[in-house]
Structure 1
Amino acid sequence: MSTSKPLDLDKLRINGPRLWDTLMELAKIGATPKGGVCRLTLTDLDRQGRDLVLAWAKQADLTITIDKIGNAFMRRAGRNNALPPIMTGSHIDTQPTGGKFDGNYGVLAGIEVVRTLNEHAIETEAPIEVAFWTNEEGSRFVPVMMGSGVFAKAFTLAHAYAAKDVDGKSVKDELTRIGYVGAQEPGDHPVGAYFETHIEQGPVLEDNDTTIGVVQGVLGIRWFDCTVTGMEAHAGPTPMALRRDALQVATHLMQEVVATALRHAPHGRGTVGMVQVHPNSRNVIPGSVKFSIDLRNATDALVDTMVDEVKAYAAQLAKKSGLAIQIELVSSYPAQVFHADCIDAVARAANKLGYSNMPAVSGAGHDAVYMAQLAPSGMIFIPCKDGISHNEIEDAKPEHITAGCNVLLHAMLERAGT
């Protein structure tokens, strides 16, 4: 008769140093002199990264499936393999001046969860899967979040295949070249629930000295191009009262974009990130200004209200100034609220493990946005240094990396059943 005590699952923890080492190993592929990573999607470096992650999956006895857009699914069997898998994942492609953690952490945290379950011979009722999605960043091909978007039928495989980079190379040709066109139709793959762990990519957790962000959802986004049309004239001879200065009118509207976001706190965001002044000459009054408007908030209704307020102000400004103001919608991403059960599972795991935590929202898009349209989904945030991401100096503390993965482990175990 065995005298060994059964494992207390509440005490189960991942191997933090091992997870950190895998992150650093993957970061060598495409490493930059400034300490970041440049591993653009569907390049030879991306293939090397994919090959390494799948080699780790094979070492962990995971079964691998690749679909036609190059999404990879790494499965650990459960007691009842008829159940849809409890999935986690993210992406391993980076920005041109990307960091070691954005996306990569979510994939390798999933591998570490599996390694931990294997080491302790823990069997789950439902299968566990780790996924990495093709072209989340959109830095080489658009649309962004391509792999998960095709998987969720947000756009077609044909549309994704036809996308080309600046050199005219297509997604289909590059996927084929690196050997990652799989056999499975995207979306013909059941999902029971989806969790994604990620650096916050913002400063809120660090500012609040909090370890875990329990993500409630992802902000809705509206992007516009705004053009203010005035009249070029010489800066010297033209009196101030007789000018049709497009830039001066545009700056009033730019300030209103920010003011609108401030009125709709705490999750309102308003940004003017791109400005083109014509003719952009030192001694010429600007005749036209084109600038971007980025509005975000936690619900589509709030974003729509912000849009209406900015447009109403623009109409008043046009009437007062006599200048034409045109606002054109460029793209729109709906707000995505995560599933209450998954949000609660993350919060319970963080509390059980003794980690400080707080509700959080994501101002950036993630593959979890599309997955939430298919299955109950949730996200786990950890702090990143100074809130910086999409930058070679992106950084995170090893203890936070470990904490987020421990929360992921326990949230997935709760959902998968033991």
Structure 2
Amino acid sequence: MDTATQTNSTAMNIDTLRINGERIWQSLMDLAKIGETPKGGVCRLTLTETDRHGRDLVISWAKEAGLSVTIDKIGNVFMRRDGCNNELPPIMAGSHIDTQPTGGKFDGNFGVLAALEVIRTLNDHNITTEAPIEMVFWTNEEGSRFVPVMMGSGVFADQFSLEHAYAATDIDGKTVKDELTKIGYVGEQEPGDHPFAAYFEAHIEQGPILEDEEKVIGVVQGVLGIRWYDCVVTGMEAHAGPTPMHLRQDAMQVSAKIMQEVVAIALRVGEHGRGTVGMAQVYPNSRNVIPGQVTFSIDFRNMTDELVDEMDTQLREFTADLAKQTGLRIDLKLVSNYKAAPFHPECKDAVRNAAEKLGYSHMDIVSGAGHDAVYMSELAPTGMIFIPCKNGISHNEIEDTKPSEVEAGTNVLLHAILARALL
């Protein structure tokens, strides 16, 4: 069949094309057996023997589907289905298969196996796209054993060097380079020497919004920018009984005002503002001693870097004024800064149009968590698809979603990819 005939055949079949929901669900359950935990979750830490078994299984499925396999030096694995015009850069889809120590069956794994199911479906119907299609899984997205998080995609996107990633160590002092070598996944390709035209990532939401809104598909607008701070308030510890209230230098009370302001700033600045104090240490931490020092974390997130900048400005102005009012020392240190990642309009439209064509309820949504798609968006048009997860719970062994939602998200991924690969 020549290219013109193949394209006409594809156009005739595309609207009725659907994935095999039972097949992808079974693949998810089979992969979840590798590293399964007694509570029904998965522990498949990156670059362990368990990770190797998971990688080997996914690659075996890819080869059964007729895909060629390329591995780069950080262990990212690319599995390619040829198109009619292999001079075109591929449309890529995927995620990761490493998990948290008490992880679930779907985080990351759904995106990888959804990409595989798209390819299996095209094989079933003998459809050849104009551009090649690739599925990928990235190394060490979770960061649960080695930091930085999103390591494989970060090296691929030149956000940090291969040498920096190789030198990272786990709690036992083992390096990424040694552990990657040990499991046999140091490839030959230089990270980043792998062009692609667009990237899609299907994922469970890891939050409660879709379930609460009773929507099946989330059209992800982007990933929130994140800024982390350590804040230290220093006063003077003193006896809780003899010291009058107006003479105290109470670090806890001043800290509490800052903590409340963190939440207030998040509510003021943009509809997607997030403000969290998740960790606090009190010195000397005694019930009858006025705290002399409090150290706590601050987590700010918002949809654009400009909005996070505004949150930062308000926080710094508030703490400066509070220090003057109280006479206590307030030290605010920025410890991490992840830029916001708005996704490409054409990719968002491809996801939205697919959901509408397929009749799935959908809504625009943002991601408050980081994903490999963040770094991919720096390199090419990128989009994400969310499906609900039960009670919004993820990074937990009870993480769950419905087979029908997995099927819906994969169908949307299929048609979003086809919208780009058939151009």
TM-score for the superposition, normalised by structure 1 = 0.98
Q: Partner residue of 2:362?
A: 357
Q: After TM superposition, where is structure 1 displaced by more than 3 Å over at least 4 residues in a row?
A: 4-7
SS at match of 1:8: helix
Q: What are the Cα deviations for residues 13-70 of structure 1, in whole angstroms up to 9, with x where unaligned?
A: 0000110111111111111111111111001110111011001101111100000000
SS at match of 2:171: coil
1:85 aligns with 2:90: yes
Q: 1:143 aligns with which of 143, 148, 156?
A: 148
1:307 aligns with 2:306: no
CA RMSD of aligned residues (A): 1.2
SS at match of 1:326: strand
Q: Partner residue of 2:194?
A: 189
Taking the aligned partners of 2:261 and 2:196, their CA distance within structure 1 comes to: 43
Q: What are the Cα deviations for residues 213-232 of structure 1, in whole angstroms up to 9, with x where unaligned?
A: 11111101100000000111
The residue type equivalent to 1:105 in the other structure is: F
Q: 2:136 aligns with which of 107, 111, 131?
A: 131
The residue type equivalent to 2:388 in the other structure is: P
Specify whether residues 9 and 250 from structure 1 end up closer, same or farther in structure 2 by C-alpha distance, changes over 3 A only. same
The residue type equivalent to 2:133 in the other structure is: I
Paired residues for 1:8-407 under 5 Å:
8-407=13-412
Alpha carbons 2:10, 2:127 under 8 Å: kept: no
What's the CA shift for 1:334? 0.5
The residue type equivalent to 2:142 in the other structure is: E
Alpha carbons 2:65, 2:120 under 8 Å: kept: yes
The residue type equivalent to 2:195 in the other structure is: P
Taking the aligned partners of 2:310 and 2:289, their CA distance within structure 1 comes to: 37
Alpha carbons 2:75, 2:152 under 8 Å: kept: yes
What's the CA shift for 1:407? 0.2
SS at match of 2:296: strand
Alpha carbons 2:270, 2:307 under 8 Å: kept: no
What's the CA shift for 1:265? 3.8
Taking the aligned partners of 2:292 and 2:32, their CA distance within structure 1 comes to: 47
Q: Partner residue of 1:409?
A: 414
Taking the aligned partners of 1:266 and 1:200, their CA distance within structure 2 comes to: 18
Taking the aligned partners of 1:88 and 1:266, their CA distance within structure 2 comes to: 29
Taking the aligned partners of 1:25 and 1:261, their CA distance within structure 2 comes to: 42
Specify whether residues 140 and 6 from structure 1 end up closer, same or farther in structure 2 by C-alpha distance, changes over 3 A only. closer
Taking the aligned partners of 1:279 and 1:137, their CA distance within structure 2 comes to: 34
Q: What are the Cα deviations for residues 252-281 of structure 1, in whole angstroms up to 9, with x where unaligned?
A: 100100011011242000000110111111
The residue type equivalent to 2:128 in the other structure is: E
What's the CA shift for 1:301? 0.4
Structure 2: runs of 5 or more not aligned: 1-8
Query: Structure 1 stretch 228-237 or stretch 189-198: which is displaced more?
Result: 228-237
SS at match of 1:374: coil
The residue type equivalent to 1:66 in the other structure is: I
What's the CA shift for 1:240? 1.4
Q: How many residues align?
A: 415
Q: What are the Cα deviations for residues 278-327 of structure 1, in whole angstroms up to 9, with x where unaligned?
A: 11112111110110000000000000001111111111111111110010
Taking the aligned partners of 1:63 and 1:6, their CA distance within structure 2 comes to: 26
SS at match of 2:136: strand
Specify whether residues 401 and 5 from structure 1 end up closer, same or farther in structure 2 by C-alpha distance, changes over 3 A only. closer
What's the CA shift for 1:405? 0.3
The residue type equivalent to 2:85 in the other structure is: N
SS at match of 1:58: helix
Taking the aligned partners of 2:250 and 2:103, their CA distance within structure 1 comes to: 39
Q: What are the Cα deviations for residues 55-103 of structure 1, in whole angstroms up to 9, with x where unaligned?
A: 1101111100000000000000001111000000000001111111000
Taking the aligned partners of 2:11 and 2:50, their CA distance within structure 1 comes to: 44
SS at match of 2:383: strand
Taking the aligned partners of 1:35 and 1:232, their CA distance within structure 2 comes to: 47
Specify whether residues 104 and 174 from structure 1 end up closer, same or farther in structure 2 by C-alpha distance, changes over 3 A only. same
The residue type equivalent to 1:112 in the other structure is: E
Taking the aligned partners of 1:166 and 1:240, their CA distance within structure 2 comes to: 45
Structure 1: runs of 5 or more not aligned: none
Query: Structure 1 stretch 26-35 or stretch 71-80: which is displaced more?
Result: 26-35
Taking the aligned partners of 2:69 and 2:16, their CA distance within structure 1 comes to: 30
